[in-house]
Structures are given as C-alpha cells and as structure tokens.
C-alpha cells in the first residue's frame, strides 16, 4: 500500500498559535506555513504582536496577529469570532503561550504560583473550549498543547511550572477522551531544553569565558549533547497538525534530544 505524502500537507488549513510572536511558537508557525497553512497568532500586547508581524513579514509570511490575553475567557471568545470573520475558522490550535517563574517553593507567593497555573494550564483550557464547538461542527480539528519535560519530571525552583505542565498533559488526554469521537485529535509536544530568549540566561558565558554551569549540565544530560533549536520542533509539530497523525490522540511527543530516555553516565 503506497503512502500518500499529501497527508502531511496543511494546504487550506488555518492554524492559530498562541504566543506566536517569537521563539518556539514562531518556529512552529513557520513550519506550518511551509506546509501550506494560513497563520494566525496572538500575543499579550500590541508591541509583541507588531514584533511578530514584522518577523513573519521578513520571513515572507503573511500572518494575522491579534492582541489577546489568553487567560481572559471573554477576550478569547471574541478573538476566535474575529478570526473566523477576518480569516477562517481555526482548524489547528497550538497552545504555546506560557510563562515560568524560577523561585524556590518556600519563597514563592501563592499569587505567583496561581499566575503560572493560570497562563500555562487554565489558558489552554480556555483556548480549547473556544475552538472545540467549531471543530465538532466541522468534523475535524487538531489541538497541540506545548507541554514540557516538566510534564514528567521535577526539579528545584519550578514547582508551579511542573504542576501546570503535568496538568496540561492530563488535560491533553482528557480532551482526546471527550472529543476524539468527533475526529478531533489533541496531542502534546514536549520540548526539551530549547535555545530561546527565555532560556538565554542559562546559556550565557561566564566572566572567565567558561560555559554556564547549567549549560554544561544540560549538554551532559542530553544524549544529543546539545540544546535543541526551535526548528527541531517544526517536523514533530507538523506531524501532529496534519492528517498523517489522525489516529494519534492523547499522546505527548517529547522532542528532548533523548533526556527522558537517559539515566546518565556513571561519574
């Protein structure tokens, strides 16, 4: 039986990437565009949306940008309605917007903990809730939640982030459980340590020219012996957004260079 390579095409599809002005979201959107999708993105303020629009334009992509706080359910509902009016119904949703606070748990205010949960877990629920009715009506849809290795592991100073990403993994599985019968696939993409502006402080050279201790630690713990690049996520994201993954549902695809599979070398 010959495989139809057109199953990887996103021609005629509209993809919404939250927080898609730069970094991982921008890379995923760029990959979607190369596969034929129309790109829509949002960010928290006009400055970031303008920054994103400029970056897409420079990349030769005609993207549609919207200012929207993804934790505000009313604002999200209005944005989805506006996208349908301006562009088209959303076929693919990538819940990429997120924050992290690196604070020891005993020093973290509960308000800071709640903020991380709100952006990293509640917002994907709000976004999915907004697009699901249309996907059900049309009989197809793809939702990709940007999870994390912290969906599986914990480490010091990221209690809120790990709690949110662990919850996002289970939200992913539950959306699959509830809406898979409508030909809607909800999967997670779990990046390892990726070279983004958010992780830049962890890769800065020290005053003596040596590598940051955390940079050294990550490379030693990663079989690939390097940080990931945003473009490393393009192919996996395209697979999860395309018809090629129509029987893949409720899964988390980790793109981590092998960290989760590796116990480490004996010292």
β-pairing, 184-191 vs 64-67, is unpaired
Answer yes or no: are the C-beta atoms of 126 and 75 closer than 8 Å.
no
Nearest to 94 by CA among 258, 238, 259: 238
Could you tell me which residues are beta bridge partners of residue 234?
none
For residue 107, the number of C-alpha atoms closer than 13 Å in the C-beta half-sphere is 7
Among residues 22, 66, 161, 254, the one annotated as catalytic is 161
Q: What is the DSSP letter of 211?
A: P
Could you tell me which residues are beta bridge partners of residue 189?
146, 253
Across 97-183, the runs of DSSP E, i.e. the strands, are 141-146
Q: Tokens in use for 164?
A: 């949110």
- Taking the C-alpha atoms of residue 23 and residue 73, their distance in angstroms, rounded to an integer, is 25
The answer to whether 161 is a known catalytic residue is yes
- Taking the C-alpha atoms of residue 140 and residue 181, their distance in angstroms, rounded to an integer, is 10
- Taking the C-alpha atoms of residue 254 and residue 194, their distance in angstroms, rounded to an integer, is 12
- Taking the C-alpha atoms of residue 60 and residue 42, their distance in angstroms, rounded to an integer, is 18
Helix (H, G, I), strand (E, B) or coil at 200: helix
Answer yes or no: are the C-beta atoms of 16 and 42 closer than 8 Å.
yes
- Taking the C-alpha atoms of residue 102 and residue 217, their distance in angstroms, rounded to an integer, is 17
Look at the block and give the residue holding tokens 């819940």.
Answer: 95
Give catalytic residue positions: 161
């Amino acid at each position: 039986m010959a495989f139809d390579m057109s199953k990887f095409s996103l021609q005629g599809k509209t993809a919404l990437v939250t927080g898609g002005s730069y970094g991982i979201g921008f890379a995923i959107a760029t990959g979607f565009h190369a596969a034929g999708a129309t790109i829509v993105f949002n960010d928290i303020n006009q400055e970031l949306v303008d920054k994103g629009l400029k970056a897409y334009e420079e990349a030769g992509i005609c993207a549609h940008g919207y200012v929207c706080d993804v934790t505000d359910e009313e604002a999200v509902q209005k944005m989805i309605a506006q996208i349908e009016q301006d562009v088209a119904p959303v076929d693919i949703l990538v819940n990429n917007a997120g924050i992290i606070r690196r604070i020891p748990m005993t020093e973290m205010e509960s308000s800071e903990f709640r903020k991380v949960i709100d952006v990293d877990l509640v917002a994907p629920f709000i976004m999915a809730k907004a697009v699901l009715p249309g996907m059900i009506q049309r009989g197809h849809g793809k939702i990709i939640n940007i999870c994390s290795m912290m969906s599986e592991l914990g480490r010091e100073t990221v209690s809120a982030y790990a709690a949110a990403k662990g919850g996002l993994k289970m939200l992913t599985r539950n959306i699959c459980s509830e809406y898979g019968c409508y030909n809607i696939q909800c999967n997670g993409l779990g990046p390892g340590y990726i070279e983004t502006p958010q992780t830049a402080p962890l890769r800065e050279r020290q005053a003596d020219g040596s590598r940051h201790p955390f940079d050294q630690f990550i490379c030693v713990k990663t079989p690939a012996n390097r940080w990931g690049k945003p473009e490393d996520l393009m192919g996996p994201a395209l697979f999860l957004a395309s018809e090629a993954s129509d029987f893949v549902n409720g899964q988390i695809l980790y793109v981590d260079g092998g960290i989760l599979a590796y116990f480490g070398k004996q010292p």
